[in-house]
Each structure stands twice: as C-alpha cells, then as structure tokens.
C-alpha cells in the first residue's frame, strides 16, 4: 500500500447554521445540556441541497485546487448513509455533474466509518493498477433522516461533505497501514431505514421510513473500546509506536468519546483535533472535514504521520495510518 498518497483535500457545508439555542425553540433541550454531553454548539443544515449537491461542490473544489481535469478521474467513491436516492448512486450523480466521463462511480455504505472504508477500497484500486486518479467523497444530509422532535438524536447531527484526491506515490507520502472491523451482531445499536414495504402488499401495511435511532450508551462503550484497539493494530502493522503519530483525526461523534480514547491510549489530548462544536456529527464527512481544516491551517504538514479513524453504524470501525 506504499504507493498511494493524498494529493488534495476540500470540504463544504451549507450556509444555514443552527445553534443549540435554536434547537431549544423546537424541543425540550438547552445549550448547556447539549454542550455538556457532546461538545456540540452548532451544526450546518441544508435547505434544499441534497447529498449530491454538497459532494459536487467538494468535487469541483478538489479539481480546481489540484489542477486535475474531471476527464482524468478513473474512479469516484461517495461514502454516505444519506444518499439522494436508493438509485442512482450519489456518486453517479456527482460523476455526471462534473462531467468525469472516464470515471466509474459507486456509493459505499458504512455509516460513520464510511470514509475509512472508502479509503481502503480506493487504495486497492490504485495498488492493483485498476485506477490511477481517484476521488473519495464523504457526504451527508442527515437532517433529512433524523426526527427533529427527538432530542436524543436530532441534536447530534449536521450536514456537510468533504473529500480527497488519491493517486500513486512517487515520494515518501504513503498509506502505511489499514485496519477495518465489522461487528454485525451489534447492528441494531445504530440504525435508520426500512424493514417493511412502502405500500400495502398482502398482509403487510405501509410503513414510514424509520428515523435515525441509536443506543447512545452502547455506541459510547463500543467506540471507547474498539477505536483504541483498531489504532493499536494499525500502528503494529505499520511498525510504529502510538507516540509517533503526529495527529489523530477521529470521527467527530462526541467530544467525550475522543477524550476517553486519548485517555485510554495514554496520549496527550493535544494530538486529537476536535471540531465537533462547529459541525456536530457529520458521519462519513467528519474525518475529511477535519483533515481539510488541519491541512488548510498548516497544522497537518507533508511528512507528518496521521491516523484517520472512523466508527459507527454496522457497528464498524476503520483506521488508516498515513504519512501525509
């Protein structure tokens, strides 16, 4: 996997900002209640832009910044749990929007681990020679799948998209290790979607799409247990000590989870960047949004070693160790 590197990063979020105080006007909650339990102060919410719209803006930005032409892309992967539709794939819509006529495109569904899983898939296409220039996007419009009367879930999520361009490496920048794990026996701990027909059929009656539901305590325990284990396995694979990682870029699900992971690994909290206060949980978009911010702020620099780690629905966890 030493032949793959990140060329460019970018992100985009909708203009509308919804604060915790705004949410207190439509449900029984408060800024203090949300901030204390999650670290979230505000989130960006789409008013009409769908997931493909957010991803298309990121895709266009990636191309503009890198100087690549859309026609040069071989593959586009969109990681999302809130696609525009069951079909066509959101990635196909993005491919059409940017006129990437030579790229094949598909979606990947691994919830909040989606970006990590897409990263692994894209890397394999590059290392096998099937693709040379790849775009990975994590995009979510979670505002369309949450119950805005349920304070246990609605306060957590935000909309946004981000992504990277990958290609073959001709220098030291490289993906050093990858660790993916799925725990399907715990799938019910975090879910949304359908389990019955939309229309009457025999004895079945129509059922609405179910809103996002989560066992917060179980997911917290899962994340604080399995993310440190995944990071350790990836470091072992890369023949690195945890202390050699310059930046830990974790899925922004809950600030308390990130602090607990840092404590469990006995690492300084300063290595764990956090931006959840501004964006909330943007699922598959959270890692690449944070990565792009750190790159643009010149905090993540070429030659540094970073750990990307996502965790969530499936239940799943995914980690990459990268020499940026």
Is 281 noted as a catalytic residue in this protein?
A: yes
Joined tokens for residue 56: 């298309």
Q: Could you say which of 20, 50, 254, 281 is catalytic?
A: 281
Is 235 noted as a catalytic residue in this protein?
A: no
Q: Could you say which of 20, 44, 112, 235 is catalytic?
A: 112
CA-CA distance, 286 to 311, in Å (whole number)? 11
Q: What residues act catalytically? A: 112, 251, 281
């Amino acid at each position: 996997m030493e032949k793959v590197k990140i060329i460019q990063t970018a992100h985009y979020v909708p203009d509308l900002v919804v604060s915790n105080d705004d949410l207190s006007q439509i449900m029984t909650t408060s800024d203090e209640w949300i901030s204390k339990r999650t670290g979230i102060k505000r989130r960006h919410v789409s008013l009409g832009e769908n997931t493909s719209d957010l991803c298309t803006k990121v895709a266009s930005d990636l191309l503009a910044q890198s100087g690549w032409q859309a026609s040069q892309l071989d593959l586009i992967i969109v990681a999302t749990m809130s696609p525009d539709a069951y079909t066509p794939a959101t990635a196909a819509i993005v491919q059409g929007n940017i006129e990437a006529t030579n790229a094949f495109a598909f979606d990947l569904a691994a919830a909040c681990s989606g970006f990590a899983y897409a990263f692994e898939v894209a890397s394999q296409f590059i290392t096998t020679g099937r693709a040379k220039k790849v775009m990975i996007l994590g995009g979510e419009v979670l505002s369309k799948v949450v119950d805005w009367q349920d304070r246990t879930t609605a306060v957590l999520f935000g909309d946004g998209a981000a992504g990277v361009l990958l290609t073959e490496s001709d220098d030291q920048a490289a993906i050093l290790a990858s660790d993916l794990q799925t725990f399907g026996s715990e799938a019910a701990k975090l879910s949304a979607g359908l389990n019955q027909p939309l229309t009457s059929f025999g004895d079945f009656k129509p059922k609405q799409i179910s809103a996002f539901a989560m066992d917060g305590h179980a997911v917290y325990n899962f994340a604080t247990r399995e993310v440190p284990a995944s990071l350790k396995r990836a470091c072992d694979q890369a023949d690195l000590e945890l202390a050699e990682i310059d930046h830990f870029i974790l899925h922004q699900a809950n600030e308390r989870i990130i602090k607990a992971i840092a404590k469990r690994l006995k690492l300084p909290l300063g290595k764990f960047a956090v931006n959840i206060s501004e964006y909330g949980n943007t699922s598959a978009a959270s890692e690449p949004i944070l990565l792009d911010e750190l790159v643009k702020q010149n905090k993540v620099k070429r030659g540094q070693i970073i750990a990307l780690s996502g965790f969530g629905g499936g239940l799943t966890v995914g980690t990459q160790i990268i020499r940026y």
